[in-house]
Amino acid sequence: MSKQLEGQVALVTGAGRGIGQAIARALGAAGAHVVAAARSKREIEAVAREIVAAGGQALGLPLDIAQEDQVSAAFAQVRERLGRLDVLVNNAGIGRFGPVVDFASAELKQVTAVNLLGTFWCCQQAMRLMIPQRRGYIINISSVVGFKGYPNQAAYTATKHAVMGLTKSLAVEAQPHGIRVSAILPGGVDTSMVGDARPDLDRSILMRPEDIAQTVMFLLSLSEKAAVDEIYIRRRTSQPF
Ligand SMILES: NC(=O)c1ccc[n+]([C@@H]2O[C@H](COP(=O)([O-])OP(=O)(O)OC[C@H]3O[C@@H](n4cnc5c(N)ncnc54)[C@H](OP(=O)(O)O)[C@@H]3O)[C@@H](O)[C@H]2O)c1
């Protein structure tokens, strides 16, 4: 029996650890040829090796999405080596936290360069590959802070609101080309990033990265007649996160 994503190429940014690693594994298990991208070569190569060892297909692609020239070179490599792109998961992101009153400009620029500019450039390059195919799916990993606000998270929150703006606008722009664009907005997930953002939280009560990976797989399981704008997924609790 053929697998759900057999013959498809899926690029995941930030695939070296955390949520992106779980997404890459799930896509590989579903038969996609996975392109695992991030800055840490060692981590993405380990993820690619693991997918191949499990019987799938994958390659690790070193990429800093905050560098526009690296983004265009990476997508050019995908075109040359694999010939197509069916799924892009814009998962790479960084958190920089602290009160607005003391927030350093360098940190503001860094978080914006990765979370907004990098995500935008990846969408742009993916569109250039997907438009001639007349199909494709772009999934942006936003956050609960894509619609809520928390203290000491203003810069991160602003970039994730911006990712929602990008997602909403691109979804409409991409539709006539047969390309779907959705956002997933997770609450707390047990990764190293959340330890920095919320050192007060007991990480054992958070969602698992696999919960977000399954949400990606759900979106990809829908027929091309269905469009999902966004999915907010949070940990099960009676308290607000
Ligand atoms: N954890 C949560 O509670 C949570 C909740 C909501 C949303 N999110 C979002 O989910 C995504 C993944 O978060 P996570 O918790 O899994 O974080 P993580 O464990 O810190 O992993 C982040 C991944 O992104 C990569 N990355 C960072 N900067 C990059 C850059 N400039 N270019 C390419 N790759 C880059 C990292 O690899 P390198 O450092 O090697 O590049 C790593 O593979 C982020 O967008 C985050 O905002 C997380």
136-141: strand order across its sheet: 57-62, 33-38, 9-13, 87-90, 136-141, 179-186, 230-233
DSSP 8-class letter at 189: B
Confidence class of residue 239 from pLDDT cuts 50, 70 and 90?
low
Range of the domain at 37: 9-233
Confidence class of residue 143 from pLDDT cuts 50, 70 and 90?
very high
Percent of the chain with pLDDT over 90: 91
Residue pair 159/103 in contact by the 8 Å Cβ criterion: no
What is the model's pLDDT at position 194?
A: 84
Residue at 4 is within a domain: no
Number of domains in the chain: 1
Confidence class of residue 113 from pLDDT cuts 50, 70 and 90?
very high
| Number of helical (H) and strand (E) elements in the chain, helices listed first | 8, 7
Residue pair 140/96 in contact by the 8 Å Cβ criterion: no
User: 35: part of which helix (H) or strand (E)?
Assistant: strand 33-38
When pLDDT is averaged across residues 17-22 and rounded to a whole number, the result is 98
Residue at 1 is within a domain: no
pTM over 0.95: yes
Quick check: 105 pLDDT over 80? yes
Residue 204 CA from chain centroid, whole number: 23
| Cα–Cα distance, 111 to 106 (Å, whole number) | 9
Residue at 241 is within a domain: no
Residue at 199 is within a domain: yes
| Cα–Cα distance, 88 to 179 (Å, whole number) | 11
**For ligand 1, atom 41, which residue shows the shortest CA distance?**
39
| Cα–Cα distance, 223 to 126 (Å, whole number) | 21
Residue at 140 is within a domain: yes
What is the model's pLDDT at position 176?
A: 98
Residue 89 CA from chain centroid, whole number: 4
Question: Residues lining ligand 1, CB < 6 A?
Answer: 13-14, 16-20, 38-40, 43, 63-66, 91-94, 114, 118, 141, 143, 186, 188-189, 191-194
Residue at 66 is within a domain: yes
For residue 225, the SS3 value is coil
Residue at 3 is within a domain: no
What CATH number is attached to the domain comprising 159?
3.40.50.720
When pLDDT is averaged across residues 159-166 and rounded to a whole number, the result is 98
Residue at 17 is within a domain: yes
Quick check: 191 pLDDT over 90? yes
